[in-house]
Amino acid sequence: MSRPLDILVQEMRVITQLRKVAAVLSWDQETHMPANSAKARADQLALIISLAHSRFTGAEFRSSLGLLVDLKTGQVDAASLTADQVRMVEMTWRDWRRAKALPVDFIGKLARLTSEAQGVWQLAREKNRYDLFAPYLERIFEMKRQEADHLGYSGEPYDALLDNYEPDATAAQITALFDRLRPVLVDMVSRIGVDSGNGRTALLEQKFDLDQQWEFGLQVLRDMGYDMSRGRQDRSAHPFTTDFHPSDVRITTRLSETDLPMGLFSSIHEGGHALYEQGLNEAHFGTPLCEPISLGIHESQSRLWENYVARSRAFWSWYFPQLQERFPEQLSGASVDDFYAAINVVSPSLIRAEADEVTYNLHIMVRFDLERALLNKELEVSALPTAWSEKMQSYLGIKPRTDSDGLLQDIHWSLGALGYFPTYTLGNLYGRQIYAAADSQIHDLEGRIAKGDLKTLREWLRENIHIIGRARTAEELLVSLTGEPLSAEPFIAYLEEKYGQLYPQLKKSRPSMVGENNGR
């Protein structure tokens, strides 16, 4: 390693360690912290985060970085560096430029605003009082417009914010994808209609012992290759994954006696995230080579495991008998097919977080369209409730009766997390492309899953994605794995195949085969 790079990496490790320490504080806050110590914890978090920020944006880091890269253009002096090292420096410069772009005053002001807004949002949702939240939403969008200006963009302001979560993606690119996907989904939803489950879901509407749920979830996680000696699962109000180092990656789940799928799929979802973090190359800890590529790629790992593996027929052909053993009273009379159908019911609903695979992305499109319109001042905050209802009606055929079931349902805007929502759909699409690549490279993947062998897939993901860190961009990764850039086609094909079997009305009336039965 060159001497200037060595110095830079040392300093990056310190900054990363501070951020990871903040993550420990946050994890504790969500899982174990006593109720009345929130104030003290907020002070500790603010201190550590500001120490990390000021080191990253300080003179010392600047001069270390300046020895390796043109600070104006990002052009790396590649003379004595390997290709991976060049990428490491490029990515570091990119993060640094963004961190430097926002004035400290601005960061503080935005943090205070969103901190206050979260409380107001919570209250507004509880009391169905959009009028309470609207002034905050107004101010948040105004500050995010300023943030976009600080950060800079070539297309539209939305691009600058999207770049926080999905580097290189643009609103125009997302729009094109969504325009391809939307009519397919809208058509499927309208053909399926409101599916009450027709008794199929009665199987799930029973009580399931929490300890048994917990143990079953852990078993699946272990089978996936989640290393419990370098991670753990806890309970929290909202499931999440956090990492302090590749050797300490923790997940949380939420369990309910009356909602078996919720806890199970949330464990598997977070487990997918956790495998990514555990699979990073810890030799590069502290640098972009030991960081996930983007939120969309991260989400691809969780969705791949949650949906493409754990909602598949093959998966349950192995696990359903085991689930039956844990819940003989509830499940002994049911077949794998009953269970498979029950966990794959499609029906338009109001709440994004509870949506099925088909309708989920339509919820994202509602948010993307409205968020972008608000940011571009094509929509007034006061007109949002009406616009929300119209979008829901148009995409999903239903609309909320209250704002709490509508635009107040998600925390994201109150956090200032604009540009975040599309990464969920990107995760679904990336995930399907990646699954298809794995399927083509792993012999009999489905057969393996049907025998409880999940580790072969995990190993493939580790070698082809996790270990790489940010040495590749999302697009480079996809092209290297699949030969194609981001595309909705594999996802569409998957939905049509899977749900065509579950919902016969989706099978398009095929043109009658000319020549069939003609004679003989």
- Is 44 among the residues that bind a copy of itself (CB under 8 A)? yes
Residue number with CB closer to a copy of itself (249 or 309): 249
Contacting a copy of itself within 5-34 (CB under 8 A):
14, 17-18, 20-21, 24-25, 28, 32-34
Residue number with CB closer to a copy of itself (243 or 369): 243
| The token pair that represents 288 in the structure block | 């972009």
Residue number with CB closer to a copy of itself (25 or 111): 25
Helix axes 59-66, 3-31, angle to 10 degrees: 130
| The token pair that represents 485 in the structure block | 């850039």
Whole-number Å distance between alpha carbons of 79 and 102: 31
- Is 227 among the residues that bind a copy of itself (CB under 8 A)? yes
CB of 234 to a copy of itself, least distance (A): 8
Out of 11, 90, 147, 270, pick the active-site residue.
Answer: 270
Residue number with CB closer to a copy of itself (17 or 128): 17
Whole-number Å distance between alpha carbons of 462 and 472: 14
CB of 232 to a copy of itself, least distance (A): 5
Largest CA distance in the chain: 86
Please give the torsion angle defined by the CA atoms of residues 230, 234, 239 and 240, in that order, rounded to the nearest 10 degrees.
Answer: -30
- Is 240 among the residues that bind a copy of itself (CB under 8 A)? no
> Is the Cβ–Cβ distance between 60 and 11 less than 8 Å?
yes
> Is the Cβ–Cβ distance between 275 and 231 less than 8 Å?
no
Give kind and range of the element (H or E) at residue 186.
Answer: helix 171-192
> Is the Cβ–Cβ distance between 153 and 106 less than 8 Å?
no
- Is 492 among the residues that bind a copy of itself (CB under 8 A)? no
- Written as one letter, the residue type at 451 is K
Contacting a copy of itself within 67-96 (CB under 8 A):
none
What residues does 250 pair with on adjacent strands? Answer: 232, 242
Contacting a copy of itself within 364-383 (CB under 8 A):
none
Q: For the range 77-84, what are the long-range contacts, defined as Cβ-Cβ under 8 Å and sequence gap of 24 or more?
A: 80/2, 81/2, 81/5, 84/289, 84/471
Residue number with CB closer to a copy of itself (50 or 376): 50
Alpha-carbon torsion 394, 397, 403, 404, what sign?
negative
Among 36, 73, 154, 518, binds a copy of itself (CB under 8 A): 36
CB of 216 to a copy of itself, least distance (A): 21
Q: Coil, strand or helix: which one is 169?
A: coil
Among 150, 191, 222, 232, binds a copy of itself (CB under 8 A): 232
Pairing outcome for strands 248-253 and 241-245: antiparallel
CB of 258 to a copy of itself, least distance (A): 24
- Is 210 among the residues that bind a copy of itself (CB under 8 A)? no
Whole-number Å distance between alpha carbons of 413 and 408: 9
- Residue position matching structure tokens 């290393």: 227
> Is the Cβ–Cβ distance between 303 and 272 less than 8 Å?
yes
- Residue position matching structure tokens 């070539």: 154
| The token pair that represents 234 in the structure block | 């806890």
CB of 111 to a copy of itself, least distance (A): 17
The 264-303 site mask, x for binding a copy of itself (CB under 8 A), equals ---------------------x------------------
- Is 218 among the residues that bind a copy of itself (CB under 8 A)? no
Residue number with CB closer to a copy of itself (231 or 427): 231
Task: Provide CB contacts within 8 A for 446, sequence distance 6+.
Answer: 312, 314, 439
- Is 40 among the residues that bind a copy of itself (CB under 8 A)? yes
Task: Provide CB contacts within 8 A for 298, sequence distance 6+.
Answer: 273, 276, 292, 427
- Per the annotation, the verdict on 116 as an active-site residue is no
- Interface stretch with a copy of itself, choices 43-51, 422-430, 456-464, 482-490 (CB under 8 A): 43-51
- Is 37 among the residues that bind a copy of itself (CB under 8 A)? yes
# chain residues binding a copy of itself, by CB under 8 A: 35
Among 229, 509, 512, 517, binds a copy of itself (CB under 8 A): 229
Whole-number Å distance between alpha carbons of 49 and 43: 10
Q: Coil, strand or helix: which one is 417?
A: coil
CB of 253 to a copy of itself, least distance (A): 15
Among 245, 269, 313, 391, binds a copy of itself (CB under 8 A): 245
CB of 237 to a copy of itself, least distance (A): 17
CB of 40 to a copy of itself, least distance (A): 4
Residue 410: count of CB within 10 angstroms of its CB: 19
Among 4, 231, 239, 431, binds a copy of itself (CB under 8 A): 231
Residue number with CB closer to a copy of itself (21 or 132): 21
Residue number with CB closer to a copy of itself (286 or 427): 286
Site for a copy of itself, rule CB under 8 A:
14, 17-18, 20-21, 24-25, 28, 32-37, 39-41, 43-44, 47-48, 51, 227-232, 234, 244-245, 247-248, 250, 285
Catalytic residues: 270
